[in-house]
Amino acid sequence: MNHTGGGTLPNSLPHAEPGLTPAVTHDAVVIVPGIMGSELYDTSTEKAIWGLANGRWLAKAWLYRDGLTPLQLTDDERAGDYSRVQARRLLQTPAWSPFLRGIEPYHHLIRTVENTTAHRDAVMTFPYDWRLPIAVNGRRLAKEARAHLQRWLDHPAHTAARRQAVDERPARLVFISHSMGGLVTYAALTHGGDTDLVTDTRGVMTLGTPFKGSVVAANILNALQGAPLPLPHTRLARAAATMPAVHELLPRFLCLEDGLDVRHLTPVDVADLGGDKDLAKASEDFFTTLYTHELPRQRPVVGIRQDTVQSMKLIDGIVYASEYCFRTDNDGELKRDPNGAPRRYPGWGDGTVHRESASLLRQTIPVFAQHGAIANGREARRIVSDFLLEDDHLGPDQAEDGIGLNIPDYVTPSAAWDCFVTGTDDPSQVECIIAATEGDWRKAVRFDVTDDDRLHAKIALPNEGLYRITAKSEIGPTITQLVFAGPEGQDRPGD
């Protein structure tokens, strides 16, 4: 299928004026999704176990007794036999997970990339089994990216497009990587077994990648501890405790409050909160090796101004996460107040990954976006398009002012819940809609101002299902988040 680039966003059209050369890149692009961003298929049962063509599978996955059991790693998989599950394609419909919240499909991002390349064949998506160790997926990505680059170099469209480049060099690889996909790309380029891959890579753009981990991963593994939680949270904890990848997302920065000290999580701590001690130790060893190499030509896009947990206490096996962080001096000493207590600092991120974790560099490109939607957001897609069109490094854009969105991840139908918008205390500046992802139910949200200058509204949803809330402000980009409505404390049998 022939393709003429030129538009940068999904609703833009290629230029067709005579003599006008489309603004496209002649490089080969690889899109690497985040955790839970790929559909998974069980070859032993011949059934999809994560992701389907419609949203009904979500209720089965999270509310039925055995809904997530196929996602648990088997003894054979723990031993290194990964043949049971195949990642067939990127997510096609919106998905939802406790703590990680909404996971949007990548349609808009893919269309933006396709519209900014010389031909659709220059674009490869990389679905992968996101349960497995990052190193395993990194080696496979290195192999498939190499094959993709060679196919594109042999493509007739490459020969024509190459002539439009500044130096008419052969195509190189550009990776656009969301969330954990940035870590998979990091592993592919540094430990993927292809020593020439770095040389053949022009750049890596990461979107909300947790380079230093996330406290959210500790919450995921801890859902079996402490007070009763909704069924989806306990379902996820049981499956996540077997997954190397979830342990590789645990925080690797000073986050654990321990008396008058703040320290790193240890494998013993991970076992205490509900994880697997051996998987935690393997993760520790993996990142010790990974960090000995720099991620080459990285351009990090980070989410900002969204409430994000960044520290935690571990008391009797229960995680108490907080939305503040700690800082150290240049010599690594913890900042303390006059009484010797660690100073607590306000901090934000994208709702899942805090800003300091989302980059290995001081220089970042900030956007107002929630984690699961950052790759599809209009601002991030403009940045991706601009990155693809670069012949030289031009430096990052600056983010506009914007708002933040704070909502629960799981609610029950008809029960009112709290929705907060931060970044403005003027309800007239915010237009907010909540709508079912399937069907035509939608409702406008009206806000009041709280004592701490946030906007607040009470919302109740009519039925079980997945809903998207969209908040638009006069002062910045649109923010979206998904919320799942399901029963409270009801255990459904498997089918």
pLDDT tens string 448-459 = 999 888 999 999
393 pLDDT higher than 80: no
Closest by CA to 351, choosing from 450, 149, 246, 210, is 210
**Do residues 457 and 477 touch, judged by C-beta distance below 8 A?**
no
**Do residues 150 and 142 touch, judged by C-beta distance below 8 A?**
no
- Mean pLDDT for the stretch of residues 289-294: 95
Give pLDDT, residue 445: 97
Mean confidence (pLDDT) of the chain: 91
Instruction: Read off the pLDDT band of 361 (50, 70, 90).
Output: confident
- DSSP string for 460-483: --SSSEEEEEEEEETTS--EEEEE
**Do residues 58 and 483 touch, judged by C-beta distance below 8 A?**
no
Q: At a CB cut-off of 8 Å and minimum separation 6, what does 354 contact?
A: 214, 308, 309, 310, 325, 347, 348
Residue 177: strand, helix, or coil: strand
Q: Which two tokens stand for residue 356?
A: 């300091």
**Gyration radius (Cα) of the chain, Å:** 22
492 pLDDT higher than 50: yes
| Predicted structure pTM score | 0.88
User: Structural domain boundaries of the chain?
Assistant: 1-399, 404-485
Instruction: Read off the pLDDT band of 56 (50, 70, 90).
Output: confident
Closest by CA to 225, choosing from 309, 308, 311, 315, is 315
| CA–CA dist 109, 176 (Å, integer) | 9
**Percent of the chain at pLDDT exceeding 70:** 91
Q: Which two tokens stand for residue 200?
A: 């053949």
Instruction: Read off the pLDDT band of 57 (50, 70, 90).
Output: confident
Burial 385-410 (b: 16+ CB within 10 A, else e): bbbbbeeeeeebeebeebbbbbbebb
Give pLDDT, residue 415: 95
- Residue 309 CA: distances (Å) to CA of 101, 213, 236, 255: 14, 12, 19, 10
Give pLDDT, residue 14: 47
Helices (H), 163-248: 180-191, 215-221, 231-240, 244-247
**Per-residue pLDDT reduced to its tens digit, 62-111:** 988 889 999 999 999 999 999 999 999 999 999 999 998 889 999 999 99
The separation between CA 47 and the C-alpha centre of its own chain, rounded to angstroms, equals 25
Segment (H or E) for 115: none
**Do residues 179 and 370 touch, judged by C-beta distance below 8 A?**
no
495 pLDDT higher than 80: no
Give pLDDT, residue 91: 95
CATH 2.60.40.10 fits domain 404-485: yes
Partners of residue 117 on adjacent β-strands = 25
- Mean pLDDT for the stretch of residues 271-278: 97
Closest by CA to 399, choosing from 350, 328, 450, 344, is 350
Segment (H or E) for 387: helix 378-389
**Do residues 104 and 373 touch, judged by C-beta distance below 8 A?**
yes
| CA–CA dist 357, 344 (Å, integer) | 17
Q: At a CB cut-off of 8 Å and minimum separation 6, what does 434 contact?
A: 442, 443, 445, 459, 461, 467, 468, 469, 470, 483
| CA–CA dist 264, 213 (Å, integer) | 11
